[in-house]
Amino acid sequence: MSTNVAFQRCINPDCAAELDCGFAEGGFKCPKCGELLDTQYNWDKIKVPRKLSEFGKRWSTRNNSLDFSGVWRFRELLNFCEDKYKVTIGEGQTVLQQNDAVAKYVDMKPGCLFLQYEGLNPSGSFKDNGMTAAFSHASMIGAKSCVCASTGNTSASMALYAHSCGLKATVFIGSGRIAFGKLSQAMDYGSQTIQIAGDFDDCMRQVQDVCTKLGLYLLNSLNPFRLEGQKTIMYRIIEALNWELPDWIVVPGGNLGNSSAFGKAFSELKQLGLIKRIPRMAIINAAGADTLTELVNNRKLTWNNGRTNQKTIDDFYADLTARNFSPHTCASAIEISRPVNLKKCLRAIDVTNGVVRKVTDEEICDAKAVIGKHGLGCEPASAATIAGLRHLRTEGVISAGERVACVLTGHVLKDPGVTVNYHKEKQGEFSNPPIEAPNDINEIIKLIK
Ligand SMILES: *Cc1c(COP(=O)(O)O)cnc(C)c1O
């Protein structure tokens, strides 16, 4: 057992290889068995506050940039590097909005629905929570050049952070299916963008091989330090609820980094005695990219104490390959059919007594318009949470009076194409298209309601 404050450990209990935090080769796969790695801590060597509310005191010292950061304000809970290596650009200044109008849409009681709006991050998505942590790790180990595969937001966030700490950045994107707001960011923030003839899953495979061959630093959510940063989204929800727990967390599922990080956050808080119970989690897939739903709900795949049934996964993936399947959804951020964090996510489902659902693109777009009209605009993947919550309310899995926090993962301007089409092409019941008017004052006045 490592005696370091922080170390990495393989999630496979039959391997459980331990590595120090300096290890970053081969895209963060266990060098012994190829499984995912976790960041782990020897908590007795860390001065963790005895109560969560202690972290709130850092609001009064926010002229210190680490106290200002919504990630590093909780730094004892992700204590893998010294302060001098920490990279921050003001991430995590996000809000938890109680929203009764959206609550009504999902048939919840007033005061029960909360939207955790991660679109307020510097690059406009929750990914910045992870990047600040991963880039701190990269700077600690002296990385010079970094790379990611992306459906868009990872690249936007990576590009922004890379240049603020002087790393070269290369982004792999699939052809065609990337939202314009996101692509524009990667280019504008100066990263080299390589568009591969293939989908996200193809990019993900290529980027891992490139990392191994060229020794580049990987910033996908295979990077366990990125997930450490994403844990803080849960801390901020608890903070905004005045250090109380919600009953449910609802999150979209793509590469399953967020859901994995949230499960880890809660199990650590419980282990540390900082919370007494763990909220339940609902993970929402898009119907056109529903690997998790299929594996968990239909093929009964479980974490099983780390001894997940690999054959179930292999058979399903072989089936995808045989069908030449490529995922399709307007929620491009979750258009992923081979999620790299699948096993960590199964562990999170186990820890949180979680559920998985899928929603159609129509449901996503309607929910997105409702969120836009009544609260904080978000991108399609984020709206999957509200669409999924509606299912869970109809089924009675979640009751009207429970407290639910939905994570709105990205900003509405990330994907203007989906929004404009929904409204202008009158695609759904909440479409709000522009009204055409002649250039005539009287005619215009008649139109104004
Ligand atoms: C990356 C992303 C997701 C998917 O998150 P995972 O951690 O990969 O499951 C969802 N929504 C948005 C806006 C994203 O950028």
pLDDT tens string 338-376: 999 999 999 999 999 999 999 999 999 999 999 999 988
Centroid of chain to Cα 335: 13
Distance 325 CA to ligand 1 centre (A): 21
pLDDT in tens, 90-121: 999 999 999 999 999 999 999 999 999 999 99
Fold of the CATH domain 95-122+226-424: Rossmann fold (3.40.50)
Q: Residue 263 corresponds to which tokens in the numbers above?
A: 């499960």
Residues 6+ apart with CB under 8 A from 125: 118, 119, 153, 156, 157, 333, 379, 409, 410, 411, 414
Assess whether the C-beta atom of 409 lies below 6 angstroms from ligand 1: yes
Distance (angstroms) between ligand 1 centre and the Cα of 251 equals 9
pLDDT tens digits for range 116-142:
999 999 999 999 999 999 999 999 999
What are the b/e assignments for 397-412, b being 16+ CB within 10 Å?
A: ebeeebbbbbbbbbbb
Q: How far, in Å, is the centroid of ligand 1 from the Cα of 253?
A: 7
Centre of ligand 1 from the C-alpha of residue 100, in Å: 25
Q: Is the CB of 254 under 6 A from ligand 1?
A: yes
- Which value, in Å, is the radius of gyration of the alpha carbons in the chain? 21
| 285 within ligand 1 shell (Cβ under 6 A) | no
pLDDT, one tens digit per residue, over 383-431 is 999 999 999 999 999 999 999 999 999 999 999 999 999 999 999 999 9
Ligand 1, residue 345: give the atom nearest the CA.
Answer: 9
DSSP assignment of 226-238 equals HHHHHTHHHHHHH
- What predicted TM-score, i.e. pTM, was given to this entire model? 0.97
